[in-house]
Chain A
Amino acid sequence: MSDTVFENNVVLENSVPPVEELNFAPLASTYARTLIIESSIFFTILAIIPAVINWFVADGWLLTQWWFYVLWLLLALSPFIWAPMVAKSRGFSMREKDIHYRSGLIWKKTVSLPYNRIQHVEIESGPLERIFKLTTLKFFTAGGAMSDMKIPALEFERSSKLRAFVMEKAGVSEAEAKDAN
């Protein structure tokens, strides 16, 4: 038998087209901006913590060093370069029976999630997201405690529409299962 066991199914006999042929829909155009703000805040906090510790331990020696400011500025400004690219690398694609989320600039990752495995869907909106009127859509399956797929930066109407569609699909496939038997 050897490898033939595997070779049999390299050719797909029907339906499911390879995931690669999908067109991935982009996320909200304001997504890059939220990423920039988010990471600038993060890097600022990252700079404040050692500065405060240093203030107590070494009387603020760190604050007199020019390289500390340069380093912080480089980090805080770096999102202007990578955030648009990161935002562009993320996107999702829906088919009749499954949804796919692609992400990653360097390490590319695609998660595929069939509708009939979805347990529930959550719409989340953090403080920053609320300012930009964006939401994150989270899909949960029985595969783990964490969400299995997270689609960030969706306008509110878009995510509620998406959720309704997916929920209906998840329900429909269950009904189909009932009919089939």
Chain B
Amino acid sequence: MPTDTVVTTKLDAGKWQRLSPYAVIYYIVKFISAFVKQGVQSLAPLAAVIFTAGENRWLIIGFIAAGAVVFLLAGAVLSYLKFRFRIANDTFLIQRGVFKRKRLTLTFDRIQNVAFKEPIYFRPFGLVVLSIESAGSSSEEVGLGGIPRSLAEEIRKNVLKVKSKVNSETGTVAEDTLTAAPDSDDAQTIIKQPASELVRYGLSNNNIWVFAGIIGGSLAQVDWDEYTFAQETENLIVSLIGTSGAALTAFFISVLFFIVFILLMLSAIGAVVSNYNYHLTRHHGRFHRTKGLFERQEKSLLESKIQCLQIDQPWAARLLSRFHLYPKQVGFAKLGQEGGENDMTGAPRFLIPSVTNSFAVDFSKLLYPDFHWEKATLKPIDRMYTRKMLAWVFAPIAILPATSLSIVFSPWFMLILLFPLLVMPLVMLRRSKFGYASDGTHGIIRSGFLGQKLTVFPFFKVQTVQLTQSPAQRKKGLANLVIKMAGTSLQIPFMPLLDAKSWRDRILYEVESNNSSWM
């Protein structure tokens, strides 16, 4: 252990530094939330012990609780004591770990981003959590939990200063050269979102349906007959409403509506809490965003690092005529943990919630000034898509249960074979949502189902292009095109072969002739 470890509010280059002692709170909160997220099921054996303990039950519970508190405190204090960081020679070094020492070395040029979070419990002390997004593949959690804001700002400045130096060497756009803090006065406000828009976001994002699906799925797995309260509830409902089918149906439909209503409320409240006072500014080629009610979160995003712009419109957002924008970064795992900010692939998200069509167009112009996709008519994909999806995906799904159930039970189950016909309108809808257009240097791809997703991207940011053809596609002159970017994969199925080839050749030309850095 280095002896010259210092606890300062200033950046001491070359010396090992510690977090603020209040970081203990950060670790306590972190442990508890990690426990709630992952460890709750491990309580089951504990519960068994408690329930079988008989008379000494309360004593045992007391012991366990006291033990847990001591363990938690000791863990948090040790984590704080064992954590130190150092900045030297354009590298960020972190040592941590109570039982197993972990060392992390990050060179500044691999750091994508530095984000601040100000949890409510740090606010009285003026501390922030600094998290680091790196372009590495490591998914280890690294955040400096609890350093003074001034120090955090100094670190960010240091990282960015070196970054601009690196960038000018490799020859990226001059815009990158920035040394000033992103929140200085001449930053231009891009958007401020009032609570009403955040409520719209909460009501129209797809998260609640995913959540409802998970809940529904897990409820379906429970064997309700085992629980007496299920029986009691059933009796209660029957005694209140009677056994009339119509009344019961009406009852269940209203319960369902009530549940959806509650979910919508929760989603709206969640959206307001996490995005409260959403403020996006732009300064020297960098976007800067602050948001959050209990935990203020600050994040900057270098414009040149944006790989593509995703314009999402889930079906509910269509009713509200709003869009949710995601300027997408390199999709490597994020070092600075904390849920909610990451999408399913673990890539950091930079959401601009609930904006109008004209804002979406303007924002796209900000990134890609020469690309006028809003004036273009997107080309559709071939109708063959519908036929092939029905024949190769939905028909096989229907055939197995139809044949097996018919053999075992009744030939009436052959009706399942009509399933592909039933989903046909939906597949047609899906096909009609696909669309693409290009101006030779940028592309736009639309996909979706009830809602839609537009992805706008410059060709030179592409990594690889794939073209596939099935025998039927070869006969009809069609192809599937897969465009891979750092962290995003785009697909245009059943595209005319000529278009697919010209997209591929054009993309390769742009990638190979454009010397701007993609990262």
Contact with B along A149-181 (1 / 0, CB 8 A): 100000000000000000000000110111011
Contact status B466-A109, CB under 8 Å: yes
Contact status A111-B513, CB under 8 Å: no
CB neighbours (8 Å) of A180 from chain B are: 171, 515
Tell me whether A57 is interfacial, beta carbon within 8 Å. Answer: no
Interface contacts (Cβ under 8 Å), in number, total 136
CB neighbours (8 Å) of A15 from chain B are: 509, 513
Contact with B along A82-124 (1 / 0, CB 8 A): 0000000000000001100000101111111111110000000
Contact status A177-B515, CB under 8 Å: yes
CB neighbours (8 Å) of B506 from chain A are: 9, 12, 16
CB neighbours (8 Å) of A3 from chain B are: 376-377, 379
CB neighbours (8 Å) of A142 from chain B are: 330, 332, 463, 486-487, 518-519
Q: Which of B315-351 contact A (CB under 8 A)?
A: 330, 332
CB neighbours (8 Å) of A104 from chain B are: 468
Tell me whether B140 is interfacial, beta carbon within 8 Å. Answer: no
Kindly report which residue of chain B lies nearest to residue A104, judged by CB atoms. Answer: B468
Kindly report which residue of chain A lies nearest to residue B462, judged by CB atoms. Answer: A117
Contact status B169-A178, CB under 8 Å: yes
Kindly report which residue of chain B lies nearest to residue A106, judged by CB atoms. Answer: B471
Tell me whether B501 is interfacial, beta carbon within 8 Å. Answer: yes
State A141–B512 Cα separation when bound (angstroms). Answer: 14
Contact with A along B463-485 (1 / 0, CB 8 A): 11111111100100000000011
Chain B nearest CB: distance from A32 CB in Å?
Answer: 22
* CB contact between B469 and one of A107, A114, A116, A181 (< 8 Å): that residue: A107
Instruction: Given A1-B376, A6-B437, A106-B470, check contact A16 B489 (CB 8 Å).
Output: no
Contact status A117-B170, CB under 8 Å: no
Tell me whether A23 is interfacial, beta carbon within 8 Å. Answer: no
CB neighbours (8 Å) of A2 from chain B are: 376-377
Instruction: Given A3-B377, A5-B438, A6-B437, check contact A114 B508 (CB 8 Å).
Output: yes
CB neighbours (8 Å) of A12 from chain B are: 502, 505-506, 509
B contacts with A, residue count (CB < 8 A): 49
Tell me whether B197 is interfacial, beta carbon within 8 Å. Answer: no
Q: Which of B388-430 contact A (CB under 8 A)?
A: none
Chain A nearest CB: distance from B409 CB in Å?
Answer: 27
A contacts with B, residue count (CB < 8 A): 45
State A14–B462 Cα separation when bound (angstroms). Answer: 19
Chain A nearest CB: distance from B112 CB in Å?
Answer: 12
CB neighbours (8 Å) of B518 from chain A are: 117, 142
Contact status B505-A181, CB under 8 Å: no
Kindly report which residue of chain A lies nearest to residue B442, judged by CB atoms. Answer: A5
Tell me whether A144 is interfacial, beta carbon within 8 Å. Answer: yes
Tell me whether B504 is interfacial, beta carbon within 8 Å. Answer: yes
* CB contact between B379 and one of A1, A6, A8, A117 (< 8 Å): that residue: A6
CB neighbours (8 Å) of A176 from chain B are: 515
CB neighbours (8 Å) of A178 from chain B are: 169-171
Contact status B464-A141, CB under 8 Å: yes
State A148–B485 Cα separation when bound (angstroms). Answer: 11
Contact status A9-B440, CB under 8 Å: yes
State A181–B235 Cα separation when bound (angstroms). Answer: 78
Contact status B505-A5, CB under 8 Å: no
Instruction: Given A108-B468, A181-B515, check contact A6 B438 (CB 8 Å).
Output: yes
Q: Which of B494-512 contact A (CB under 8 A)?
A: 498-499, 501-502, 504-506, 508-509, 511-512
CB neighbours (8 Å) of A110 from chain B are: 466-468
Contact status B502-A5, CB under 8 Å: no
State A113–B519 Cα separation when bound (angstroms). Answer: 17
* CB contact between A19 and one of B464, B489, B501 (< 8 Å): that residue: B501
State A1–B137 Cα separation when bound (angstroms). Answer: 43
Tell me whether A126 is interfacial, beta carbon within 8 Å. Answer: no
Tell me whether B37 is interfacial, beta carbon within 8 Å. Answer: no
Contact status B137-A144, CB under 8 Å: no
State A124–B470 Cα separation when bound (angstroms). Answer: 30
Tell me whether B375 is interfacial, beta carbon within 8 Å. Answer: yes
Instruction: Given A108-B474, A143-B489, A144-B489, check contact A10 B170 (CB 8 Å).
Output: no
Chain A nearest CB: distance from B173 CB in Å?
Answer: 9
CB neighbours (8 Å) of A112 from chain B are: 464-467, 504, 508
CB neighbours (8 Å) of A173 from chain B are: 512
Kindly report which residue of chain B lies nearest to residue A149, judged by CB atoms. Answer: B464
Contact status B464-A18, CB under 8 Å: no
Tell me whether A81 is interfacial, beta carbon within 8 Å. Answer: no
Chain B nearest CB: distance from A87 CB in Å?
Answer: 19
* CB contact between A16 and one of B467, B487, B508 (< 8 Å): that residue: B508
Q: Which of A1-53 contact B (CB under 8 A)?
A: 1-3, 5-6, 8-10, 12, 14-20
Residues of A within 8 A of B (CB): 1-3, 5-6, 8-10, 12, 14-20, 97-98, 104, 106-117, 141-145, 148-149, 173-174, 176-178, 180-181
Q: Could you list 4 further interchain pairs (A-B, Cβ under 8 angstroms) beyond the known A8-B440, A108-B468?
A: A109-B467, A114-B508, A116-B512, A149-B464
12 contacts between A and B (CB under 8 A): A5-B377, A9-B438, A12-B506, A18-B501, A111-B465, A112-B504, A117-B518, A141-B486, A142-B518, A143-B486, A145-B137, A174-B170
